[in-house]
Amino acid sequence: MSSTNAKVRIKRFTATQRLFHLVLMVTFLIQSATGLARMYHETAWGQGLGNIFGGFEASLTVHVYVGIFMICAFVVHVLYALLNMFINRTGLFGPDSLLPRMADLRQAARHVGWILGLAKHPPLDRWGYWEKFDYWAVFWGMVILGGTGLLLAYPLASSNYMPGWGLNVAFWVHRIEAILAMVHIFVIHFFIAHLRRSNFPMDRTIFQGSADLRVAEHERPAWLARLKESGQLDQMIVGEVPVFKRAVFLVIGFAAVAAGVYMLIGGLVHAPLITW
């Protein structure tokens, strides 16, 4: 089953969706590094991060412009999602929607029971409850971080519409939300996406666009059953990509995880030295 014609995987993400994830991944890592460089600029570790981008002041410049780029990419994604929903007539609700449903709460409870050995694995559909949480976390994160970031990036313009103490509040909200976002991505997201038994040591799905069919049969039987019933399953089955492409995907994935873990450990070790 190692040849490129072996049909052992199932399509999960389009090329556009994978591009959105790649852009988000790269920009988030840059924002994390430049933000931490500012937070830890009195430490050798923080100065080392800053030097990657040209120093203390240059880190802020990169942080601002990459942040603006992220906001633009976010707007494009929202427009893409709305257009895709209109063209494919998927609607806001239903099994293909990323909107949370009551079924997600039941799946989460059953999943905990499965982890504790008290229940069977929940028959997931296209999206797991944790994937929906990850997706919507980006939305509130972009609103909070993007909004406060713009206020802080242009303080003179912002002060025309708000008192000075408002910028102090924006600073604290921005920093606290940024820390929460980094902890979530570097701990929870990395673990769920890559360190689970079915995915270890690296899940290539978001890079490759297709998931291991055997894993999907175990984790997402409801999705496969729905595809089979609608007659779409056969056209969703694809072959494995060449070894070279798999190697590229693994290098990208491991590099991102390594960068995130490095920043997580460095931030924790130097936490008492944060410049507030």
Average pLDDT of the segment spanning 59-69: 97
Where residue 59 falls among pLDDT bands split at 50, 70, 90? Answer: very high
**Predicted local distance difference test score (pLDDT) of residue 198:** 77
pTM: 0.90
Q: Rounded to an integer, what is the distance from CA 69 to the centroid of its chain?
A: 16
The Cα diameter of the chain in Å comes to: 65
Q: In the sheet that 237-239 helps form, which strands lie side by side, from edge to edge? A: 210-212, 7-11, 237-239
Alpha helices (H) in the chain, listed in sequence order: 15-39, 44-52, 56-88, 102-115, 129-153, 155-158, 164-183, 190, 205-208, 213-219, 221-230, 233-236, 243-269
What amino acid is encoded at 28 in this protein?
F
CB 170 within 8 A of CB 245: no
List of residues 6+ apart from 275 with CB closer than 8 A: 38, 39, 40, 41, 42
The secondary structure element, H or E, covering residue 26 is helix 15-39
CB 94 within 8 A of CB 191: no
pLDDT at 65 over 50: yes
Cis peptide before 201 (omega within 30 of 0): yes
pLDDT at 4 over 90: no
Average pLDDT of the segment spanning 56-64: 96
Question: 156 vs 33, 153, 257, CA distance in Å?
Answer: 26, 9, 38
| Token code pair at residue 222 | 């409801």
* Secondary-structure class of domain 7-273 per CATH: mainly alpha
The backbone region for 11, taken as left when phi is positive above 0, alpha when psi lies in -120 to 50, beta otherwise, is: beta
| CA 82 – CA 220 distance, rounded (Å) | 25
Q: Where are the domains of the chain?
A: 7-273
Where residue 43 falls among pLDDT bands split at 50, 70, 90? Answer: very high
Neighbour count for residue 202 (Cβ, 10 Å): 19
| CA 251 – CA 22 distance, rounded (Å) | 13
Read off the pLDDT of residues 119-146 as tens digits, 9 standing for 90 and up.
888 888 999 999 999 999 988 999 999 9
Average pLDDT of the segment spanning 88-93: 70
Read off the pLDDT of residues 174-202 as tens digits, 9 standing for 90 and up.
999 999 999 999 999 998 888 877 788 88
| CA 216 – CA 198 distance, rounded (Å) | 10
Question: To the nearest whole percent, how much of the chain has pLDDT over 70?
Answer: 96
Q: Tell me the three state secondary structure of residue 116.
A: coil
**Predicted local distance difference test score (pLDDT) of residue 7:** 60
Where residue 2 falls among pLDDT bands split at 50, 70, 90? Answer: very low
CB 16 within 8 A of CB 83: no
